[in-house]
Amino acid sequence: MFKRMLAGGLIAGFGAGLFAAVLHFAFVQELILHAELYETGELVHFDTHAVGDESEAVSHDGHDHSHGDADGADTSALTRNVMTVLFTGLIYAGYGLILAAAYQVAGLFGRQISLQQGILWGIAGFACFQLAPAMGLAPELPGTTAADITLRQIWWLGTVLATGAGLALIGYGRSLPFVVGGAVLLALPHVIGAPVLDEFHGIAPPELAGEFSARVLGVGLAVWALLGWLTARFAAPEAA
Amino acid sequence: MTQVIAKSTGTQTKALSILFVAIVGAGIVFFSGHAQSAALHDAAHDMRHATGFPCH
């Protein structure tokens, strides 16, 4: 059981990650590169002033936008893309393990995960890890100025946990109070609200940012659905 | 009695291995998605943007 969970989760994760990498280069990478032309100032959309406040633009919270890879300064495109494939595989391997563990928890409660249910679980995973966080913190193009990174990470994590618990209660709860509790958990992070700045500082055109967010979420949905299926195929608890 | 003990130990082992795998998975997600070391950030940069992590 342990071996199946570990190996199956990894296989499913790397498989889905490979699919994610293909979709990434088909749909997403070109928008990242395009946005970086605005980030570095090579392209200029409008003369950028903070909207809503005449005071000096917000400090960048000490974070440095001159990181090498992002600007393509000190690494080749090949290295950069290999890293992207590697880390895309890795992140989905992590998700695959989490999903495999979750299937086993369901197994402890006597639930079998069929391949079809696996797809639903995958979509739920997408909702937890990408869709719900994106409702407060839209996927960012490079060059986006946003609130403090630590605060955003805390909100991200809280949203993932609350959404996961909320969906589990709604999906598997046996009575109305469970469903209501689940709905409250789903809503909670958005009632609290994600950490955002008071002003807008976008340097890339909104069309580009909108397209980017939509594609990121579309790719995420497709990959997670596959991940759920693969994890059910390779790591779901076997019938006792 | 023996059976009951055996069953509860089995569940405990199961629970522990589930916990272990979940922690490894979460560790990988934290490491590739959230850790802020410069080298890691640069290497994971495009993936982080493309999967909706708060990046920088």
> Tens place of pLDDT for every residue, chain B, 56 residues?
555 555 666 788 889 999 999 999 999 999 999 998 888 999 999 999 999 999 87
The answer to whether residue A215 scores a pLDDT higher than 70 is yes
Residues 6+ apart with CB under 8 A from A105: B18
Query: CB-based contact (8 Å) between B17 and chain A?
Result: yes
**Residue B27 and residue A98: Cβ atoms within 8 Å?**
no
Quote the minimal CA–CA distance from B38 to chain A in Å: 8
User: Please, what is the average pLDDT of chain A?
Assistant: 89
For residue B51, what is the nearest residue in chain A, using CA coordinates?
A216
Helix (H), strand (E) at residue A87:
helix A77-108
Q: Is A71 helix (H, G, I), strand (E, B) or coil?
A: helix
Between helix A2-23 and helix A77-108 the angle, nearest 10°, is 140
Is residue A22 assigned to a domain? yes
Is residue A155 assigned to a domain? no
In this prediction, residue B2 carries a pLDDT of: 52
The answer to whether residue A77 scores a pLDDT higher than 50 is yes
Domain total for chain A? 1
**A and B: number of Cβ contacts within 8 A:** 139
- Best CA proximity match to A81, nearest among A71, A93, A69, A92: A69
- Best CA proximity match to A150, nearest among A189, A195, A190: A195
Query: CB-based contact (8 Å) between B52 and chain A?
Result: yes
**Residue B32 and residue A70: Cβ atoms within 8 Å?**
no
**Residue A88 and residue B53: Cβ atoms within 8 Å?**
no
Write down the residue that tokens 């000190």 correspond to: A74
Quote the minimal CA–CA distance from B35 to chain A in Å: 10
pLDDT single digits (tens) A45-67: 876 555 554 444 444 444 444 44
pLDDT band at A240 (very low <50, low <70, confident <90, very high): low
Query: CB-based contact (8 Å) between B11 and chain A?
Result: yes
Strand partners, A51: A200
Mean of pLDDT values over A152-170: 97
Task: From residue A156, give the alpha-carbon distance in Å to each of A48, A63, A136, A191, B43.
Answer: 28, 19, 9, 14, 21
In this prediction, residue B11 carries a pLDDT of: 82
Residue range(s) defining the domain that contains residue A26: 2-53+74-146+197-235
ipTM of the complex: 0.87
Is residue A177 assigned to a domain? no
The answer to whether residue A9 scores a pLDDT higher than 90 is yes
Task: From residue A13, give the alpha-carbon distance in Å to each of A31, A197, A198, B20.
Answer: 25, 35, 38, 17
Q: What percent of chain A has pLDDT over 90?
A: 75
Is residue A212 assigned to a domain? yes
Mean of pLDDT values over A166-195: 96
- Burial pattern B23-43, b for ≥16 Cβ within 10 A else e, equals ebbbebbebbbbeeeeebbbb
Quote the minimal CA–CA distance from A158 to chain B in Å: 13
**Residue B17 and residue A1: Cβ atoms within 8 Å?**
yes
